[in-house]
Structure 1
Amino acid sequence: MLSILAALLCMELCLSQRINTGKQTLPKPIIWAKPSSRVTKGTPVNIWCQGPQSASAYQLYFEGSFFALEKPKPRTSVSKAKFFIPQMTSNTAGRYYCFYQSGELLSEHSELLVLVVTGMYDTPNLSVHPGPDVTLGENVTFSCLLEGGTSKFFLLKEREPNHVQQGHGNKKAEFPMGPMTRAHRGTYRCFGSYNHHAWSFPSEPVTLLIPGDEGNTGLVPTDPTSSLVYWEDNLPTKESGLQKGSALWDHTTQNLIRIGLACIVLTALICLLAEDWLSRKRDKEGNNRSASWECRRRLSLQCSLEEEQKDAISMGGLKAIPGPGAI
């Protein structure tokens, strides 16, 4: 019994250690989109998720729901997986993140990748007041107008991934800027939007010039969707909420497993104690039956001896009485 109980306790300790090992998380993977995170409607896009060489599978999630599973090809120089979206639409625009699996461990989720679909509405008109030729220290105001009607606008500066401003207004939004420094020079475009992930066509570019910068070739307009990364202000809050939900789920699952293991061990212990009690009871009853049988056997033997003694005495008495012709 002790050996069985020791084995059960060892099993519980091993499983508990396995759970604690499972709590360890691997470093987060890297996620990116190609050709860009801002994609024209109907254009294909690839989402890449990269982890270590030991990664055996990758999982992609879209807006918190499972999207796809990919396994990297063996013997590749870089361990990564590609998730292909054949056509960008408003249904495929949104927030993506990925995990990778190594052995039985699952990594932390990657940073959030926000895919934006463009070309959904009319083209807005962008202008700047008092004009695109500015002097140092001057204040200017960009105006983005969309006749189709919307209340949300975005102003982007090319070649600066995180330079995105958000404005609100009825068909029109203004973006004051200044005092001017050389850091403000560059090419700007605006988009109209009904939500964070579906934008209009880009406006025509407007380039701010400071005297002496006319020959700067870096201000030549380029594809507005090729070098800009969209930044959403409330992403850290959503990400932390996702982490809290995942941690709460893990904690609850681990507690349920531990409770289950404790119940199994307790049930096994009760069964072993009950079996030991029954075994002792059976042995005691057997001993009692043996003692009773021995007592009865001895009593029977004693009774037989007493009967024989009585018979012997009776026979002796008969021999001592004289017969009629003895006088």
Structure 2
Amino acid sequence: MTSTLSALLYLGLYLSQTISTQKQILSKPIIWAKPDFMIPKGMRVLIFCQGTPEAVEYQLYFEGHLSAQQSPKQLGRRNIVMFHIPAMTPLTAGQYKCIYRSKELWSNPSDPLDLVVTEMYDTPTLSVHPGPEVTSGKNVTFYCQLGTATNKFFLLKEGRSGRPQHRYGNTQVEFPMGPVTTAHRGTYRCFGSYNNHAWSFPSEPVKLLVTEDAGDTSLAPTEHTSFSDLWDLDLLTTEAEFQQDLGLWDHTAQNLLRIGLAFLVLVALMCLLAEDWLWRKRAQEKANGASSQERRRRFRTRRRLDK
């Protein structure tokens, strides 16, 4: 019975450690900026960080170094803090991450947020060839040119959530595109830069119109979406994904708990069976020993009688 209790105690400690390990898994926070990830020089920017409802402290890191820390004003489902940059400069442009604390545990860092300062150099010019209006299936090329030599150019489509295209060059680069579909419709701008976080003034917008060919059935949005609206849409999507991650984590934790309890019951049963087997084995050995002693005693008695 003592060994069974020891086994149960050991398994209880193992299960508690498993549950404790589950609690140490904190979902990483989400991070975003407003009004945009591209901020004109001198304009203020707000950085938001959202953790779990139990988060009690946040830290903001800039290029790997602690930049600011803050506690949420109120706990709850929308546990969000805001960090304020009064004026965007090349010194505040770069990569940001945030983490949060729940009780004594710290989360993993958020995905990186790259903030870009714009309006740092001359204004480039953007053109498209063979023209701003083409039929689907054709190829087009955007040309971005800057009077002052630089080393990298970026091409962005307004309302597009993907990362901007980039090409290396001194004063002019080409952005080939195609075969185009109606999904390529939209307004494009280009920037020049000397690094990934300091860009020129934006070029004048160039609107690409792709007319449908007879065999083209692709669909594309026709409404213009600003970068600011895009961030709102991204925020709603990211919050939904964040809540979904929390739900998946809770489901996983419950499954681990059920598996741990089933394992505890199984091993406890095995311990009881082993205990019973050992008890029977010892009883049998004790009975065999007593029988052997009795036979020896009878043998010695018989020999004395024979003499």
Cα shift readout 1:225-253 (whole Å, capped 9, x = no counterpart): 77489xxxxxxxxxxxxxxxxxxxxxxxx
Q: Name stretches of at least 5 consecutive residues in structure 1 with no aligned partner.
A: 1-12, 230-327
Q: Is the 8 A contact 2:159 2:226 kept in 1?
A: no
Is structure 2 residue 31 aligned with structure 1 residue 31?
A: yes
1:184 maps to amino acid = H
Q: Secondary structure of the equivalent of 2:183? A: helix
Going from structure 1 to structure 2, the CA distance change for 1:122 and 1:223 (only over 3 Å counts) comes to farther
Q: What amino acid maps onto 1:199 in structure 2?
A: W
Partner of 1:154: 154
In 1, Cα distance between equivalents of 2:192 and 2:130: 22
Aligned to 1:137: 137
1:160-309 matches, cutoff 5 A: 160-162=160-162, 164-211=164-211, 218=222, 227=230
| Structure with the higher fraction of residues in strand conformation | 2
Letter of the 1:106 counterpart? W
SS of equivalent to 1:134: strand
Q: Could you tell me which amino acid in structure 1 is paired with residue 117 of structure 2?
A: V
Question: Is the alpha carbon distance of 1:24 and 1:76 closer, same or farther for their aligned partners in structure 2, counting shifts above 3 Å?
Answer: closer
Give distance in 1, aligned partners of 2:190 and 2:49. 30
Q: Which amino acid aligns with 1:41?
A: K
Q: 1:219 to 1:39 in 2, by over 3 A?
A: same
**Structure possessing the higher radius of gyration over alpha carbons:** 1
Code of the residue aligned with 2:27 in structure 1: it is: P
1:146–1:171 contact (8 Å) kept in structure 2: yes
Q: Distance in 2 between matches of 1:217 and 1:75?
A: 38
Inter-partner Cα distance in structure 2 for 1:85 and 1:162: 25
Which amino acid is the alignment partner of residue 34 of structure 1? K
Query: What are the superposed Cα offsets for residues 161-210 of structure 1, whole Å, 9 maximum, x if unpaired?
Result: 10521111121110111112111111111000100000011101111112
1:84 aligns with 2:92: no
Identity %: 57
1:107 aligns with 107
Cα distance in 1, alignment partners of residues 96 and 226 from structure 2: 24
Give the equivalent residue in structure 2 for 1:93: 93
1:268-320 deviation digits (Å, cap 9, x = unpaired) = xxxxxxxxxxxxxxxxxxxxxxxxxxxxxxxxxxxxxxxxxxxxxxxxxxxxx
Sort the Cα spacing of 1:69 and 1:161 in 2 relative to 1 into closer, same or farther, 3 A.
same
Q: 2:169 is aligned with what amino acid?
A: G
Task: Look up the equivalent residue of 1:31 and give its one-letter code.
Answer: I
Q: Per-residue CA shift, 1:30-73, capped at 9, x if unaligned?
A: 11101111111101011111112211100000010011110111
Distance in 2 separating the partners of 1:223 and 1:52: 29
Distance between the aligned counterparts of 1:163 and 1:154, measured in 2? 10
In 2, the alpha carbon distance for the partners of 1:35 and 1:174 equals 29
8 Å CA contact 1:29, 1:50 repeated in 2: yes
Which residue does the alignment assign to 1:118? 118
Q: What secondary structure, in the 3-state scheme, does the structure 1 residue paired with 2:88 have?
A: coil
What is the distance in 2 between the residues matched to 1:102 and 1:111? 19
Give the AA of the match of 1:81. Answer: V
TM-score (norm 1): 0.59
Contact 1:25-1:106 at 8 Å conserved across structures:
no
For 2:173 and 2:27, how far apart are their aligned partners in 1? Answer: 42
Equivalents in 2 of 1:191, 1:226: separation in Å? 21
Give the match for residue 246 of structure 2: none
**Preserved CA contact (<8 Å) 1:160 1:228:** no
Q: Distance in 1 between matches of 2:157 and 2:222?
A: 12
Change (3 A) 1:74 1:128: closer
Cα separation, 2, equivalents of 1:204 and 1:144: 11
- Cα distance in 1 between the residues matched to 2:128 and 2:148: 20
Residue of structure 2 in register with 1:48 after alignment = 48
Q: Within 2, Cα distance between the matches of 1:111 and 1:95?
A: 10
Unaligned runs of 5+ in 2: 1-12, 214-219, 233-307
Change (3 A) 1:25 1:75: closer
* Contact kept in structure 2, 1:162 and 1:228, CA below 8 Å: no
Match of 1:68 in 2: 68
SS in 1 for 2:160: coil
Question: Would the alpha carbon gap of residues 149 and 228 (structure 1) be closer, same or farther in structure 2, given more than 3 Å must change?
Answer: farther
| Equivalent position amino acid for 2:108 in 1 | E
